[in-house]
Amino acid sequence: AQSVTQPDIHITVSEGASLELRCNYSYGATPYLFWYVQSPGQGLQLLLKYFSGDTLVQGIKGFEAEFKRSQSSFNLRKPSVHWSDAAEYFCAVAPSGNTGKLIFGQGTTLQVKP
Q: Give the interface with other proteins as residue ranges (CB under 8 A).
A: 4, 6, 32, 34, 36, 41-46, 49, 51, 90, 92, 94, 99-107
- Nearest distance from residue 72's CB to other proteins, in Å? 17
- Nearest distance from residue 64's CB to other proteins, in Å? 18
Q: Which of 45, 80 has the CB closer to other proteins?
A: 45
Question: What is the sign of the dihedral through the CA atoms of 63, 64, 70 and 72?
Answer: positive
DSSP string over 23-40 = -EEE-SS--EEEEEEE-T
- What three-state secondary structure class fits 14? strand
Q: Which of 85, 105 has the CB closer to other proteins?
A: 105
d(CA 29, CA 70): 12
- Nearest distance from residue 39's CB to other proteins, in Å? 11
- Nearest distance from residue 11's CB to other proteins, in Å? 15
d(CA 26, CA 104): 12
d(CA 97, CA 60): 26
Q: Which of 28, 43 has the CB closer to other proteins?
A: 43
Q: Which of 43, 114 has the CB closer to other proteins?
A: 43
